[in-house]
Structure 1
Amino acid sequence: MIRATISLAALLAATPALAQDRDDIIVTALGIEQPRDEVGQAVTVIDEQTIVTRQTVSVADLLATTPGVRFNRADAVGGVTGVSIRGAETTQTLVLVDGVKINDPSGIGDGYDFGNLLTGNVRRIEVLRGSNSVVYGSQAIGGVVNIMTGEPAQGFGGSASLDYGYADTLNAKADVSGSSGIASGGVGVAYFRTDGISAAVNGTEKDGYENVATNAKLKLAFSDNFSLDLRGYYIHADLDTDIFFGAPMESSDVSKLDQYIGYAGLNLSLFDGKLTNRAAVTWFRNDRDYYFMRGTAPDYGYSGTNLRFEYEGVYQPADPVKLVLGYEHERPDYAFFGFGSDASARVNIDSVYALAVVKPFAGLSLTGGVRHDDHSQFGGATTFGANANYTPNEGRTNVRASYGEGFKAPSLFQLYDSFNGNAALQPETSKSYDVGFDQSLDGGRATFSVTAFRRDIHDQIYFDGFILPFGQYINLTRTRAKGVEAAVTLRPVEALTVTAAYSYIDAKDRSEGGLNEGKLLPRRAKDVVSMSADYRWSFGLSTGATVTMVGDSFNDAANTQRLDGYALVGVRASLPITENLEVYGRIDNLFDEEYATVYGYSTYGRSAYGGVRVRF
């Protein structure tokens, strides 16, 4: 890993590279569309072409090649999967799907399980790194992952694909969209099933998985100034897994999930477009049932719901000034049944925020804001944030700096669980700093981006298993993460694209006098390098490869259980048969590397897949 790091450092030093095209639009920084050279925060965009080219099934696997991102998966495909940004807890990553906050109120820490989120009909992903609670409130301590499905096509269009491979895996998806008159919209469906592998590393029985996902969008533009947006997303997942008692053991356990996501919003533009208004209701529900044996009634389960009302107004009295004002009300609740216990809880959170974007002179953009959240359990939390972006040459060079505060309310599970809850918990808080620059050369043929960061978290919630009788959640841990992120994109000729990303993250427990003071936080490798290259041959064939190298880490907070580093290589190819028909295939883990992201759980060895894609 040290050699790989030095090699990449040499590449960065020797290669002129650039940031993304200055005309790129970023949504996640403020929740509204912004030119990239107006954004002072670190944001990575995974676009539709990258998603199609990589042929990756899981969103988490796609995110793993993003600077600053680490992930762990307990089980094979479909197993519980957490995504960490810049060394934060996986529960401190805020996740959006088509503008809807989908962190699970019934989860242990309100975290989102990426295990059931497949690429399916996903068309774009934005990853914002750094605390950003001014815009998003609770959870946005490590950063934000914003998942977007496709926008409706002009006229009428669609696509479909079907591939098959290792472990009797079938992956199919289709979508259609179009517009007519005042209406535009689309629907999509994705289906995935596999016989899988044993979840327990020493098991022999295969644990299968099935996932069905559907999404829909409808926009009615009643006039140039007034429109209605409706969006929906649904996931059903069914997973065979192995029971966990200290280490996973082979069993007949089954988990099932039904996830519902809904959005209804009105958009109104006034005063010749100087004032835009958005009022929306969003709804998220996550039902999880667990069975000791398939075919029986569920033995225990969780249900989490979050109903939100949002208002956002954007006022731009002049080109150099933009004001963003917002109000949100959300009502998360959760319910649990099983083991002779039934529990439920609900809280109310009211939030107001204000931000300003000011451009005092050409090339400089300054953003600052404040937010106050009032939580019915623990009271109020106020957060601040500011960032700046300066470009002296119309976006070819961007110098960025940002400061962000974050907070995370204790989850309803942590507050009110019958066995482990603690109603006296206080919110986690963070302060995040970063500085970086992006450089573009040769008309966009090379891009280069480097960012240095630091984040301190106070009152991190910790599970103390020594508190009788069952253990309890308490505020104890202080943590600090610091590091460097770098990314390169090269297009020396039109047919070739080469990308590389490296991140160094030093994330440690800083609890004074604590048992784990100075220890590395679990499952967060210090070094990760990824490199991808794709080439389109003159006769239409596209070939590519991705190499990902992950350093050593520890599975536990005491740093006694080591997870060895690993290197994965994947290769891929696609060939158009006609203008609308294409065949494609890939081999994952080409060299059959043995590795684990969670101790005791299996991962796939070498596996091959092939399929066909049509467009119309």
Structure 2
Amino acid sequence: MGVLVRKFFFFLTVSSISVAAQAQDGAVHQSDVVLADSVRPTITVTANGLGTAIANTGQAVTIIDREEIDSVQGADATRVLRRTPGLSFSRNGGNGGFTGVNLRGANSQQVLVLVDGVRVADPAAPGGGFDFGNLLLGTAGKFDILRGSNSTIWGSDAIGGVVDISTRGETGFLGNAEYGSRDTLFTSAAGGIGGDGYYAGLTGSWYRTDGFSTAASGTERDGFEQLALGGQVFVDLASNLEVFAHANWSEGDLDLDGFPPPTFAFSDTLDTQETRRLWGDVGFAYYGNDLTLRGSYGLSDTERDNLDADGATTFASDGRSERLSLRGEYRAIGPVTVAFGAEQEWTDYSASFSPDGEADIFGAYVQLGFVMGRFAAHIGSRVDDHSLFGSNASYGADVSYGFGSDWRLRASLGEGFKAPTLFQLLSNYGNTELQPEESTSLDIGLEKGSRGKGTHLALTAFRRDGEDLIGFVSCFGITGGICADRPFGTYDNTDRARAQGIEAEAGFDIARGLRLSAVYSYVDTEDRTTGLRLARRPRHMGTLFADYEALFGLTLGADLRLVGPSFDDAGNLARLDGYEVLDLRAALPVTETVEIYGRVENVFDSDYQTVAGYASPGRGAFVGVRARM
């Protein structure tokens, strides 16, 4: 504990004689951002927690807005996220099946996921990660994706990066409906009213599909159905004081395959899973001349029930977290700013065949920043104290320098940590002596222009080392030590890992209305205990995408996803072949307020797996209509 405290104050001291944390060119109200859907976002919240121009951070950030989401079409979030450098995913079947997103080789449990700033990971899940399979695009307005460790600002879970998803905000009304292969129907709507000092909006979506067999060897279709609702309110109590609230709710039903007797091989079953999720927050934002503050109370709750063919519950879990948060920025002297924050989180869970558990964690950070012209630098540190394992300190720094004709050199160094989950600590397999997973990441990049417009070029090299990673330890034949009272196994800090590589991005306006873009990533991962590659982490992956808009409004697009081979297991014995998936799409306005659109997914009907034994969707065709009032 003494070492951690000394480390914390050391970095405070370094910060006080160095330069700053973050800067804004001016106060940006949340309602201003929400209502500006027609403008491609240039503000990131994942880099510093409050909001700054991407050019003012040395961290690697990708922003995908609602315009791009609409152009890609459909409900599946992975079809949009695959345009992010360094991002790969694995999925157990079709939409609704568990989907894990990896950033720069970090596993999905090491990526912090937020919706409107609220942590939405399931505290009852063994690894404490977020399931993107239940996240559909009907209510999503923007993805803000940070690649790299940043626990200085965000605390636990931010080892591989941070994904913040903003709820859609629309004025007036916009709705769409589409139908296609596998008897799939997807509808969504968003609307809102706004005036001088207020905004209120609602959004919702409904999705159903007959699907396909989750088991690659099966024939019985496994469907999915989900209803999702969201809302947000912003009210200016004064010219510099705003109150806000967000709420999101969803309920989904998923057909599952399993391991039925007598062979216990993965195959068709009539099992189902019901998932209910609720998250939201209430808070305030103060925008003074020299001081910005944002305070909130957030809540997230995820309930799951697994049912057999007769409707009997075979497993149930409920994970809940509550969080009080205060973040601020003080513009001290000229270009120098001081960012600060504190958070208190309470988590609890219950699950079948396991004792209930709860824990709390408190964290506080300070970050100094300096922004002058095209130069920006930040350095900061954080301490977190967990009720079950003690304290952890982390630090981070970044620098960005603009030069020439829209070129920018950026670099960042950061630490990340992930607290052991309640399941890992307190379940029948738990180990209360666990320490947090830790990482140190470094990246350096050169970039020209901005993503999505003009000439954009970016090349980033990165490296992340992880230590004290938590793994499951078999206790077969062992009765003492860590295995005492754990006959089937337990968790321990046994693993080390390294991920390093490069990310490349390019985008060009080839001709009037025609834009070509590409992202490519080389991610070399290593389990430093065994020397083997990490499971389900392809070394090579990339996406080529093109968009064309004719003078009369017709738009055409294509996305080609290329993924190299990987291994399904830690022992590198089960190989997953590489694959290529091509999607084509088109849209045509028929009036000023109505547009028809359609697409063909997996044009060449590629047969591939991202998890061994689990099928992926074949060729599919979809048509839809959008209307705005």
Q: TM-score, normalised by structure 1?
A: 0.91
What letter matches 1:371 in structure 2?
A: R
CA distance in 1: counterparts of 2:142 and 2:41, whole angstroms: 16
Partner residue in 2 for 1:81: 99
Distance 1:466 1:216, change over 3 A: same
Could you tell me how far apart the structure 1 residues matched to 2:203 and 2:295 are? 26
Q: Does the 8 Å contact 1:383/1:406 carry over to 2?
A: yes
1:300 corresponds in structure 2 to 315
1:286 paired to 2:302: yes
Cα displacement (A) at 1:363: 2.0
* Cα drift, residue 181 of structure 1: 4.6
**Residue 35 (1) aligns with residue 45 (2):** no
Residue 221 of structure 2 is matched in structure 1 by 206
| Mapping 1:53-452, distance limit 5 Å | 53-153=71-171, 157-244=172-259, 248-270=266-288, 273-293=289-309, 296-337=311-352, 341-359=353-371, 361-393=372-404, 396-418=406-428, 420-440=429-449, 445-452=454-461
Residue 566 in structure 1 maps to residue 579 in structure 2 = yes
- CA distance in 2 between partners of 1:489 and 1:118 (Å): 27
Which ranges of structure 1 fall in alignment gaps of 5 or more residues?
1-20, 512-516
CA deviations on 1:461-487 (whole Å, 9 max, x unpaired) are 011234462121111010000000011
Kept after mapping to 1: 8 A contact 2:50/2:327: no
TM-score (norm 2): 0.90
Per the TM alignment, residue 247 of structure 1 is displaced from its structure 2 partner at its CA by 5.4
Report the counterpart of residue 7 of structure 1 in structure 2: none
1:557 correspondence with 2:570 = yes
Is the Cα–Cα contact under 8 Å of residues 168 and 203 in structure 2 kept in the other structure?
no
Q: Secondary structure at the match of 1:241?
A: strand
Letter of the structure 2 residue corresponding to residue 178 of structure 1:
I
1:482-501 equivalences under 5 Å are 482-501=500-519
User: Matched residue pairs, number?
Assistant: 579
- Residue 318 of structure 2 aligns with an amino acid whose one-letter code is S
In structure 1, how many angstroms separate the alpha carbons of the residues matched to 2:141 and 2:553?
Answer: 23
The one-character-per-residue Cα deviations of 1:403-442 (angstroms, maximum 9, x if unpaired) are 0000000000111112x21111111000000000111399
The residue aligned with 2:600 is 587
Answer yes or no: is 1:533 the counterpart of 2:552.
no
Deviation at residue 594 of structure 1 after TM alignment: 0.3
Match of 1:330, as an amino acid? E
Q: 2:619 aligns with which of 600, 606, 611?
A: 606
For residues 450 and 293 of structure 2, the distance between their equivalents in structure 1, rounded to whole angstroms, comes to: 38
* Pair 1:600–1:176, CA change in 2 (3 A): same
Tell me the CA shift for residue 75 of structure 1. Answer: 1.9
CA displacement, residues 222-276 of structure 1 (integer Å, 9 cap, x when unaligned): 1111111010011111000101488522111110000001110112234xx2111
Amino acid in structure 2 at the alignment position of 1:451: T
Secondary structure in 2 aligned to 1:520? coil
Q: How far is 1:183 from its partner?
A: 2.5
How far apart are residue 443 of structure 1 and its match? 12
Letter in 2 for 1:408: K
Q: Residue 135 of structure 1: SS of its match in structure 2?
A: helix
The question of whether the paired residues in 2 share the 8 Å contact of 1:524 and 1:553 is answered with yes
Q: How far apart, CA to CA, are the structure 2 residues paired with 1:600 and 1:383? A: 39
One-letter amino acid of the counterpart of residue 523, structure 1 = R
Task: After superposing the two structures, state which structure 1 stretch, 440-449 or 312-321, moved more.
Answer: 440-449
Match of 1:457 in 2: 466
CA contact (8 A) 2:323 2:346 kept: yes
User: 1:445–1:492: 8 Å Cα contact kept in structure 2?
Assistant: no
Assess if the C-alpha contact under 8 Å between 1:332 and 1:347 holds in 2.
yes
**Contact 1:520/1:557 (CA < 8 Å) preserved in 2?**
yes
1:75 and 1:241 in contact (8 A); partners too: no
| CA gap 1:219/1:343 in 2 versus in 1, 3 angstroms | same
Q: 1:56 to 1:503 in 2, by over 3 A?
A: farther
Q: 1:523, CA displacement in angstroms?
A: 0.4
Alignment partner of 2:399: what SS?
strand
Aligned mates of 2:373, 2:72 — CA distance in 1: 38
Alignment-mate amino acid for residue 491 of structure 2: Y
**Superposed displacement of residue 444, structure 1:** 5.3
8 Å contact kept, 2:72–2:79 = no
In structure 2, the CA distance between the partners of 1:23 and 1:612, relative to structure 1 (3 Å rule), is closer
1:3 maps to none
Is the 1:326–1:352 Cα contact (8 Å) retained in structure 2?
yes
Asked if 2 retains the 8 angstrom alpha-carbon contact of 1:351 and 1:373, the reply is yes
Q: State the Cα deviation string for residues 29-66 of structure 1 (Å, max 9, x = none).
A: 00122112111000011122111101142213321221
Spell out, residue by residue over 1:266-294, the C-alpha distance to the aligned partner (whole angstroms, 9 max, x if none). Answer: 12234xx2111111100000001111125
Question: Compared with structure 1, are the counterparts of its residues 411 and 166 closer, same or farther at alpha carbon in structure 2 (3 Å cutoff)?
Answer: same
Q: In the alignment, residue 289 of structure 1 is paired with which amino acid?
A: D
CA contact (8 A) 1:173 1:188 kept: yes
Q: Deviations over 1:443-464 (max 9, x none)?
A: 9521101100000000100112
State the identity %. 39
Q: Tell me the residue number matched to 1:17.
A: none
CA contact 2:101–2:108 (8 Å) conserved in 1? yes
Q: Distance in 2 between matches of 1:56 and 1:396?
A: 34
The letter for the 2-side match of 1:278 is R
Q: Matched residues in 2 for 1:94 and 1:248: separation?
A: 31
Aligned 8 A contact 1:233 1:261 in 2: yes
**1:23–1:187: structure 2 CA closer, same or farther, 3 Å change rule?**
closer
| Counterpart contact for 1:22–1:396, Cα < 8 Å | no
Q: Which amino acid aligns with 2:580?
A: A
Q: Is the 8 A contact 2:354 2:427 kept in 1?
A: no
Structure 1 residues 30 and 111, CA, compared in 2 at 3 Å: closer, same or farther?
same
